[in-house]
Amino acid sequence: MSEQTPTLLVLGTGGTIAGSTASATGGSYCAGELSLESMLGDVAMLGLEAELVAKPIAQIGSQDMGWEVWDALHKEISAAQNDPEIDGILVTHGTDTAEETAYLLDLTLAARKPVVLVGAMRPAGAVGADGMRNFANAVRVASDPEASGRGPLLVMGDMVFAAKDVRKSATSNIDAFKGYPRGPIARVTPSSLDWFGGATRTGEPARFDWPGELPRVAILHAGAGMDESCVNALLGIGCKGIVLAGMGQGNAPRCVLDALSRAVKDGVPVVRSSRVDEGLVDRNVEVDDEAYGFIAARALGPAKARILLMVLIANGVSDAGDIQAAFDRG
């Protein structure tokens, strides 16, 4: 990091932080409607101690996030990591899939310069809009030398979360994010930043190569009374892997588990995660993973389990033991 005013690359993808609303008290708004240049024009009035270099990537709600934007983000961040003129990278992002983007980047980037994702729960113009405060907080984090060596981070609600831990846990609350199994790793305001521990990944290389594409992996949400037809449907559309968002400790009706086991025998890896918000999914507790051939997701929820399984398959990892070891690491 430079000793002078830091230079931060700002990659814009849209989301609520770039959203607009016709009514300050209304509930509806359009995500990703404001351009990155317009948003940074408002940011300029905050007097932040950083030089911001804007690079628009997309103007979408993050429900539409996918391969093309991910690929562009990865290329831009990788180039910035190697650019001596750039001290850190900010990514403005919608909150619905921020945890997935953060974790995908975490798996495929070296832990070097700060990479900070930031969003908002309320659009610009709404009463109590949080976007500018979150952005100011993100600038403070990305400008701090101690943010290096931690992998991608997400800043929301005056808290800093590691990509591996963060998840969205509420639909519309300002404090919609939390970390599991760890909580936040720092507290931040526009004028202060307090880390709860030191960086543990300094100099760590990327765990996996960035793939040329990502395979189709589906999340199957378990529910009472379901049958094996949904498993057959997913296999019928060419899924290369399946993540079960199971009941409790990753459970499902016996007929569904049997159908998933047949998929494993046909070369389709199956990961058991939980539809419950917190808790580990351990091996061989209620479900005999050894007999069925399943992988236990451990601390990863369904969304992140899908990301990891896609990256593993894309990198040619097919052995069940190796896949389980990757999930054990998280």
Residue 85's Cβ-count burial label (10 Å; 0-12, 13-18, 19+) is exposed
140 φ, ψ to 5°?
-60, -45
Q: Point out which residues pair with 195 in neighbouring strands.
A: 186
Q: What is the three-class DSSP state of 153?
A: strand
Distance CA 165, CA 240 (A): 26
Choosing from 5, 7, 13, 16, which is the catalytic residue? 16
Cα–Cα distance for residue pair 136/10, rounded to 1 Å = 12
Buried/exposed 119-145: b ≥16 CB within 10 Å, e otherwise: bbbbbbbbeebbbbbbbbbbbbbbbbe
Binding site as annotated, residues: 62, 95-96
Q: What is the DSSP string of 230-271?
A: HHHHHHHTT-SEEEEEEBTTTB--HHHHHHHHHHHHTT--EE
Q: How far apart are CA 41 and CA 327, in angstroms?
A: 42
Taking the alpha carbons at both ends of the chain, their separation in whole angstroms is 29
Cα–chain center distance at 207: 16
CB-side neighbour CA atoms (13 Å) of 63: 3
Query: In terms of Cα–Cα distance, which of 116, 125, 130, 135 is closest to 172?
Result: 130
CA separation for the pair 308, 313 (Å, rounded): 9
Clarify whether 7 is annotated catalytic: no
Residue 144 identity (one-letter amino acid): D
Length of the chain: 330
Pairwise CA distance, residues 213 & 208, whole Å: 13
Which residues does the annotation place in the binding site for substrate? Answer: 62, 95-96
Active site members: 16
